[in-house]
Amino acid sequence: MAGSTLASPSAEPAVAASARGVSVSPARETWRRFRRHRLAMISALVLGMLILGVVVGPFLWPVAINEIDFSAQLQGPSWAHPFGTDDLGQDILARMIYGGRISLAVGLAAMVVATFVGVIVGALAGMSRRALDPFLMWVTDLFLSLPQLPLLLLVIYLFREQLKAVFGLEGGVFVLIVVVIGGLRWMPVARLVRAQFFSLREKEFVEAAKASGATSWRQMVHHILPNAIGPVIVAATIEVSSAIIAESTLSFLGLGFPPDIPTWGRLLFDAKDQLDVAPHWAMFPGAAIFLTVLSINFIGDGLRDALDPRRVI
């Protein structure tokens, strides 16, 4: 939000874009602008490779994640085990490929939940001209002052067993973590969407739509929302990285996924007591989390530049 505000009102935007004359689709224009951001391009490449790695990894590295080998405990990286082994002699690369799938999937799914809730709440608040807006904003502020991590820890610890019974071991924890992380992180998106709606709903093109008889639903979905989508995409990107961090934090505290599902945070949790003898055990998953989060954040930054039509690049 702050990034898109101009330093001074005299810097009137949009002239550069229209002067070019040639009509290109918004997606293509965004891509052209995104490519200019070098770090974002590198990050997109890195993230793409990480995703490719966890998707096709099990076919290229078909080692069982729970193959216990006591003759190879806590070994450093070698040809047999490129990322070393843990205290039970399990291959860390195989575990990281498996865990990476879950960490990334949690990040994406929680982002979808958070963005979905955020857009709905923000749009409702932004369209309402009566008591709904103050009420929704009170709820948003309330959620913002909830102690998030304690609540996350609490909910997951308390309800893990019940959901395990319904969705199975992996699915239960997955659904729970996604819903809870998403449900506690929609507020920034809601505020963003509301602010966008507030400025957009007074614009002439919305008035024109209203004058030609568009219902408020149509105004919202066809006229305002498409124009508000840029900042939402950026926020949603950043949301993926914060959800990945949130999941890793939970697992790192021992309250996320159970030990037989080695997400990256869980690997760090298991590794932290053997730090002096087997530092590689913590380094590889930690570096994976760091690389993923860093590249997503850079991509978000690139998208912010690319999707802001007022910024000339």
Partner 1 sequence: MATYLIRRLLIAIPSLLAISLILFTVLALAPGDPFEELATNPNVPPEVRAALRAKFGIDDPVMVRYFRWLAAMAQGDWGFSFASRINVDSLILQRVPTTLFVVGSSQLLALAIALPVGIYAATRPYSLFDQIANTLAFVGFSLPTFFTGLLFILLFSIYLDWLPFVYRSDIAATGWRWYWEMLRQAIMPITVLGLFQAASYTRYVRSAVLDVVRLDYVTTARAKGLSEQKVTIRHVARNALIPVVTLVALQMPAVFGGAIVTEQIFRVPGIGSLLISAILSNDTPVVMAVTFVFACLVVLFNLIADLLYGWLDPRISFR
Which one-letter DSSP state was computed for residue 273? G
DSSP assigned state of 272: G
Q: Is 275 in the site for partner 1 (CB under 8 A)?
A: yes
d(CA 308, CA 291): 26
Among 16, 17, 26, 141, interactor with partner 1 by CB under 8 A: 141
Q: Which is nearer to partner 1, 7 or 22 (CB)?
A: 7
The residue from 214, 255, 305, 308 that contacts partner 1 (CB under 8 A) is 255
Residues from 43 through 102 that contact partner 1 (CB under 8 A)? none
> Nearest distance from residue 252's CB to partner 1, in Å?
4
If you ran DSSP here, which 8-state letter would residue 91 be given? B
Encoding tokens for residue 216? 């408020």
CA 143 to chain centroid: 19
Are residues 247 and 181 in contact, defined by beta-carbon separation less than 8 angstroms? yes
User: Look-up: residue for tokens 């002067």?
Assistant: 19
| Min CB(198)–partner 1 separation in Å | 18
The answer to whether residues 74 and 281 touch, using CB atoms and an 8 Å cutoff, is yes
- Tell me the one-letter amino acid at 115: T
Length of the chain (residues): 313
Among 142, 221, 312, 313, binds partner 1 (CB under 8 A): 142
Per rule CB under 8 A, is residue 12 in the interface with partner 1? no
Q: Which of 98, 174, 284, 298 binds partner 1 (CB under 8 A)?
A: 298
Asked if 241 touches partner 1 (CB under 8 A), the answer is: yes
Does residue number 159 form part of the binding site for partner 1 (CB under 8 A)?
yes
For residue 228, state whether it binds partner 1 (rule: CB under 8 A).
no
Question: What are phi and psi for residue 76, nearest 5 degrees?
Answer: -75, 180
Token digits of residue 148: 């998030």
Interface residue with partner 1, options 7, 15, 19, 22 (CB under 8 A): 7
**Which residue from 134, 131, 127 is spatially nearest to 206, judged by alpha carbons?**
127
Q: Which residues bind partner 1 (CB under 8 A)?
A: 2-3, 5, 7-8, 39, 138, 141-142, 144-151, 153-155, 157-159, 161-162, 241, 245, 248-249, 252-253, 255, 265, 268, 271-272, 275-276, 279, 282, 286, 289-290, 293-294, 297-298, 301
